Structure formats: structure tokens, C-alpha cells
Amino acid sequence: MALDSLKADILRNVPKSARPVPVGGSSGRAIKFVPKPPAKNPVSTPVFEAKKTVVTDSVKVDTFTRQEPVAPKETATPKLDTAKTVSPLTPSPPKVTVPKAKPIQVPFQYNAKKGVELVQYAEAYKNPNDTNTCARYVRETLERAGLTKGERFNSAYQWANALAKNPKFKEIKVAQNDLRKLPPGAVIVWPQYVYPKDKKAYEHGHIGISNGKGQEISYAKYNIKTSGNPRVFIPVL
């Protein structure tokens, strides 16, 4: 009886809203407190934070606010661009630009079509008797191309004065270092001279036709000699 009287005194001082619910209804006497089951996932257990204290019927009641746990944000791992990654031990080689040789500027009267035709005649012409006769080789090539009328000379250097009077050609001034830049069909006439390399005297001079690739064609094909002060004639008609 003393225990029941003590419980009744305690309940009288507790507000109805805060009293425990008796098992079996409000008329039952036995009071049983049912504990809250533990959380299944301790990591996701909500955190309660006390906000304020309310005084109701002379009893202090703490109210709490439920806060759900916040999962940590995932930090994106930066991707390494292997295509742009350059090893410091293997640096890329520097770019080297090789300048191209520019052809010389020829007068506007130059007949490119006739020049190419003259080279074609020179490369197609074959004469087994022309073994060391540049003058005859070039003379017959010019005749086949319709640029001369059958002139004959004893030496190659004599063609310079003949081409200077020919209206189908025009003489141009070219530096010796630029002789290999001549266009196709240019006729080069060397005077009598001594070749510096072999000290050989060319009493008849020399004559050849430029193929536009740094070579001259006569009875054979050679790299154009950049010496001897030759005269140069280009086809214009």
C-alpha cells in the first residue's frame, strides 16, 4: 500500500500529457514503460539537439529537434589527361622550317608554254652522233621547236649574238648564283672560258637548255655551271 500511495503522489505532480500510459487501458493500475528499441543502423542514428526548455504545470520539459545525419559529400577524383601529359625526360623536338628556294623573277614576256615544249623536245631528241657537240644538239632542238631557221655556227658561244637578234627570244640579266633557278626553256650560252674546277679551256664556249630543275640539257644532262658569266635568253613568242 505504501508503494501504491507513493506512485499516486508522483503522478499527481506530473501533467496528464507527460504521464505514462497504463498497460491495458486508462483504468488499469499496472504501469509498464516500454523502452524504445535500439536503432538498426548506428551510423544513421538521428542526433537530438536541445533547443529550449518549456515550463508546464510547474514541471520543466525539454523539447528536442530531430536532425537527420548528413552523409559526407564525395570528392571527385580528377582525371589525368594522358594525351596532354608530356614526360619531362622526353621533350618534343623543336620545329625546323627549311626555307624553299624561290625561282627568279622573269619578265612578263616569258612564254611558259613554249619553254616547256622546248624542254620536251630537248629530252626527246636522240642522236647517236652527238657525243660532245652541244651546239649541234641545241641547234637541232631549236629547229624542231620552230624557234630558229637553220642557222649554222662553228662554236657554241656564237649563238649568243644570233639569239639576241631573234624576235622569239629575249635576253635577261641573271646573277651566276641564280642560274639554277632559271625557268624551263631558258637557253644559256657560255663564252670562251676556263672552267675553274679542271682548269680546262673551252675555246668554243658552251650552250644548253634549262629544264627548270637546276639542270641544263645539251648532248647530256648536267647541273648548270654557276660560273663563266653566260648570257641567258628566254622564249617570248
Q: For 29-46, write each residue's pLDDT tens digit.
A: 555 555 556 555 555 555
Residue 155 has pLDDT above 80, yes or no: yes
The secondary structure of the chain as a DSSP string is -HHHHHHHHHHHTS-GGGSPPPTTSTT-------PPPPPS-GGGPPEEEEEEEEEETTEEEEEEEEEPPPPPPPPPPPPP-TTT---TTSPPPPP-PPPPPPPPP--TT--HHHHHHHHHHHHH---TT-SS-HHHHHHHHHHHTTS------SSGGGHHHHHHH-TTEEEE---GGGGGGPPTT-EEEE-SEE-TTT--EETT-EEEEE-SSSEEESSSEEEPP--S--EEEEE--
**Structural domains of the chain, ranges and CATH numbers in brackets:** 1-32 (no CATH), 112-235 (3.90.1720.10)
Question: For 46-93, how does the pLDDT look when each residue is reduced to its tens digit (9 = 90+)?
Answer: 544 545 555 555 445 455 555 555 666 666 666 655 555 555 555 565
Q: What does pTM read for this prediction?
A: 0.55
Highest mean pLDDT of the ranges 53-67, 90-104, 128-142, 179-193: 179-193
Q: What is the mean pLDDT of residues 215-225?
A: 90
Highest mean pLDDT of the ranges 13-22, 41-50, 141-150: 141-150
